[in-house]
Structure 1
Amino acid sequence: MRYLFSTGLFGAITTGVSLLRGTRESPVTWRAALAWISWAITFALAIGAVRDTRRFDRGLEVALDSPLAPAQAKRANRDEKQAQKAAAQKRRRSS
């Protein structure tokens, strides 16, 4: 539920509502078409960001072009180092 109220998605929805109100009674021009295409791209990017955030929070892999990819790589490196440290301690205890 918290993902539905992210700022990017909320902004894209409110912009779409404003665009709909502004173009409802005006003729369709190339500027209006570009505005709708721009809004569709913004909305798709907001959906992708919400999707990536949800996957990141659940520990699933995110796309390499996601802004969260470096954080995920950092988390994976940290987890790997912790696992290596735990394995080394276990070897020391058993010897």
Structure 2
Amino acid sequence: MNYLSGTGLIGAVMTGVTLLRGSRDTKITWRSALAWVSWAISLALAIGAVVDTRRARHGRPVSPDSPVYAKQQREQEKEAKRSAKVKPIKR
């Protein structure tokens, strides 16, 4: 449920609702078609961000072109440093 309340996803849905209300009584022009294409791209990017965030939280790899990728890499480097600092116990 955390992922669905993200501002990008809420913004994309609200923009779609506004676009739908505004285009009810108007003819389809190139501007309205461009607005719908723009909305579809925004929605796809918001959904992609939600998917990438979920994958990163579950420890699965994220695509290198994702904004979440850099954060995942930093966390992996921190984990590698922590595991390198742990010295083996001699018996």
Q: CA deviation at 1:17?
A: 0.3
Residue 90 of structure 2 corresponds to residue 94 of structure 1: yes
In structure 1, the partner of 2:80 is 80
Query: What SS does structure 1 have at the residue aligned with 2:67?
Result: coil
Q: Could you list the runs of 5+ residues in structure 1 that have no partner in the other structure?
A: none
Give distance in 2, aligned partners of 1:21 and 1:68.
Answer: 34
> Which residue identity is paired with 1:94?
K
> Which residue identity is paired with 1:26?
T
Q: CA deviation at 1:28?
A: 0.4
Deviations, residues 23-43 of structure 1 (Å, cap 9, x unaligned): 011000000000000000000
Give distance in 2, aligned partners of 1:9 and 1:47.
Answer: 7
> Which residue identity is paired with 1:47?
I
| Number of residue equivalences | 91
Provide the alpha-carbon RMSD of the alignment. Answer: 1.1
User: Which structure dedicates a bigger proportion of its chain to helix?
Assistant: 1
Residue 27 of structure 2 corresponds to residue 27 of structure 1: yes
Tell me whether 37-46 or 63-72 shows the greater mean CA deviation: 63-72
In structure 1, the partner of 2:58 is 58
> Which residue identity is paired with 1:15?
T
Query: What SS does structure 2 have at the residue aligned with 1:36?
Result: helix
Give distance in 2, aligned partners of 1:24 and 1:52.
Answer: 34
In structure 2, the partner of 1:68 is 68
Q: Could you list the runs of 5+ residues in structure 2 that have no partner in the other structure?
A: none
> Which residue identity is paired with 1:6?
G
Q: CA deviation at 1:68?
A: 1.2
